[in-house]
């Protein structure tokens, strides 16, 4: 009876160790999908700097709003 409890205990410990290892792997996989990404506007901000066409569009838009 005692040997059965020891065997069950060792089996349970091995199963828990396996589950813990699998959880670590799952967390690593999920972390790749849940990493903080920079906002989309940071990629766009400043992309029209020194662009004469954009400056003209901005000027025309201001004129239109003032009219």
Tokens of residue 13, six digits: 């410990």
pLDDT higher than 70, residue 51: yes
pTM assigned to the model: 0.44
Query: What's the mean per-residue pLDDT of the chain?
Result: 85
Element (H, E) at 39: none
Please indicate whether residue 29 or residue 38 has the higher confidence score (pLDDT). Answer: 29
In 3-state terms, the chain is what percent helix, strand and coil (to 5)?
A: 80, 0, 20
Q: Using an 8 Å Cβ cutoff, are 15 and 8 in contact?
A: no
* CB-based contacts of 13, cutoff 8 Å, min separation 6: none
Q: How confident is the model at residue 59 (pLDDT cuts 50, 70, 90)?
A: very high
pLDDT at 1: 55
pLDDT higher than 90, residue 37: no
Give the number of domains in the chain: 1
* Average pLDDT over every residue of 16-37: 88
The residue segments making up the domain with residue 55 are 2-66
């Amino acid at each position: 009876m005692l040997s059965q409890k020891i065997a069950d205990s060792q089996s349970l410990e091995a199963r828990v160790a396996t589950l813990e290892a699998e959880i670590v792997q799952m967390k690593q996989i999920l972390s790749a999908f849940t990493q903080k990404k920079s906002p989309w506007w940071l990629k766009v901000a400043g992309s029209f700097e020194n662009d004469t066409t954009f400056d003209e569009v901005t000027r025309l838009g201001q004129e239109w709003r003032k009219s």
